Structure 1
Amino acid sequence: IKVNHAKLGCFTYAFLNIYIKDTHHQPFLSFIHSKEDHILNNYKISGDGCYLLECRFPSNEALNQFLLELNNYANYKLSIVIEKTL
């Protein structure tokens, strides 16, 4: 099923590389489970970072609030999608 997230009110599409220095990731994972309305996918990755989050937000303000809360559990690198080309 293809979903048009913009029509659902989720205009901001972002990827977050998550960096956790501690080996205990459960607090972060619990936080992520509480925010499932914004998170499309949570990938455990190797290489640059520990996790890759694929997210949608209704506004930049909602994204900012999410990032402020996320900072209690992990550091991150934010990439915002401008346009899908394929």
Structure 2
Amino acid sequence: MYAFITIITQSANHQPYLSFIKTQERYIINNYKISGDGCYILESRFPSNEELDQFLLDLNRYANYKLSIVINKLG
């Protein structure tokens, strides 16, 4: 399952979030710093809903998020 996760950090210090992401590299395809809505966007892939759920529970200790699940790749 592919997902894009918009990250909104809870403080100006992003290091705790970035350190957490380094421990989750098996799920993260790309971590982009962005402007506009949010601070970062994660391009990610999870083998199951259960692993995605656990990732989000752990992530919520460092940042708020908005989840977008990929339904289908076109083209």
TM-score with structure 2 setting the length: 0.98
Number of matched residues? 75
Q: Structure 1: any 5+ residue segments left out of the alignment?
A: 1-11
State the Cα deviation string for residues 47-66 of structure 1 (Å, max 9, x = none). 01000000000000000000
Q: In 1, Cα distance between the equivalents of 2:39 and 2:9? A: 7
Runs of 4+ in 1 over 6 A off after TM superposition: none
TM-score with structure 1 setting the length: 0.86
Q: Does the residue aligned with 1:18 lie in a helix, a strand or coil? A: strand
State the Cα deviation string for residues 6-43 of structure 1 (Å, max 9, x = none). xxxxxx10000000131100000000000000000000
Match for 2:20: what amino acid?
Answer: F
Q: CA RMSD in A?
A: 0.5
Task: Say which structure, 1 or 2, has more relative contact order (CA 8 Å, 6+ apart).
Answer: 2
Higher strand share: 2
Find out whether 1:28 has 2:10 as its counterpart.
no
Q: Structure 2: any 5+ residue segments left out of the alignment?
A: none
Q: In 1, Cα distance between the equivalents of 2:58 and 2:46? A: 14
